[in-house]
Amino acid sequence: MKFYDCKTAPSPRRVRIFLAEKGIDVETVQVDLGSGEQFSDEFRKVNPDCVVPALELDDGSCISEVLAICQYIEDLNPEPPLLGHSPEDRARVSMWNGKVEQLGLMAMMDAFRNASKGLVDRALPGPESYAQIPELAERGRNRVVQFFYRLNDQLEGNAFVAGDAYSIADISALVLVDFAGWIKISIPDDASHLKRWYGEVSKRPSAAA
């Protein structure tokens, strides 16, 4: 296996933390998103959608999408389970990871990519150019804060995002909170459960990944 990473980017960090929690080392190739290496002919052969993370399997085929990569790693290395254990647990983990992606990370991407001076005409990742939409940046900021309160409600009665065990949903939410810090969105003072959780998951050694 070969892992195509970018050390500074949020999406591949989700895979890095996942690997660290599993205690797995994978041969890693850094793709320099800053200089546009994801658009090179060489990388397009790995992932024609020009995004990291991507995982080259031993048969030479390539998998992109964070969840697909993590599921593959979990299938080969079941312990500790980060995608849930029982069918009910697995459903809750999948649901919460999906909510963090759709309601949190997508909103955060809108907020960041539509306002960053370095990303004019790069409002979306991928091979095509899209102009920034300032209203989308503003909407994204509001949605991220709103989702922080949604997470706070969930964490009031739960140790972790998807229940009582650490899972990929915590990884995605941790990356969301840290990514939000890039544009100076922090956990609201009155979101005490989210703060408690963030303090805990940030202390895990995997958070350094």
Strands (E), the chain: 2-5, 27-30, 54-56, 62-64
Per DSSP, 208 falls in state G
Smallest separation (angstroms) from a copy of itself to the CB of 45: 14
Question: Which amino acid would we find at residue 147?
Answer: F
**Within 10 A of 181 (CB to CB), how many other CB atoms are there?**
11
Binding map of a copy of itself across residues 79-108, x = CB under 8 A, - = no contact: --------xx-xxx-xx--xx--xx--x--
DSSP 3-state of 1: coil
Smallest separation (angstroms) from a copy of itself to the CB of 193: 15
Smallest separation (angstroms) from a copy of itself to the CB of 133: 5
By the rule CB under 8 A, 135 interacts with a copy of itself: yes
Per DSSP, 165 falls in state S
By the rule CB under 8 A, 159 interacts with a copy of itself: no
Cα 130-102-172 angle, rounded to 5 deg: 110
Which residues, other chains included, contact 16 with Cβ-Cβ below 8 Å and sequence gap of 6+? 5, 209
**Residues in 32-71 that interact with a copy of itself by CB under 8 A:** 48-49, 55, 57, 59, 61, 63-65, 67-69, 71
Stated as kind and residue range, the H or E segment containing 20 is helix 10-22
By the rule CB under 8 A, 72 interacts with a copy of itself: yes
Footprint on this chain of a copy of itself (rule: CB under 8 A): 48-49, 55, 57, 59, 61, 63-65, 67-69, 71-72, 75-76, 87-88, 90-92, 94-95, 98-99, 102-103, 106, 124, 126, 128, 130-131, 133, 135-136, 139, 143, 146, 150, 153
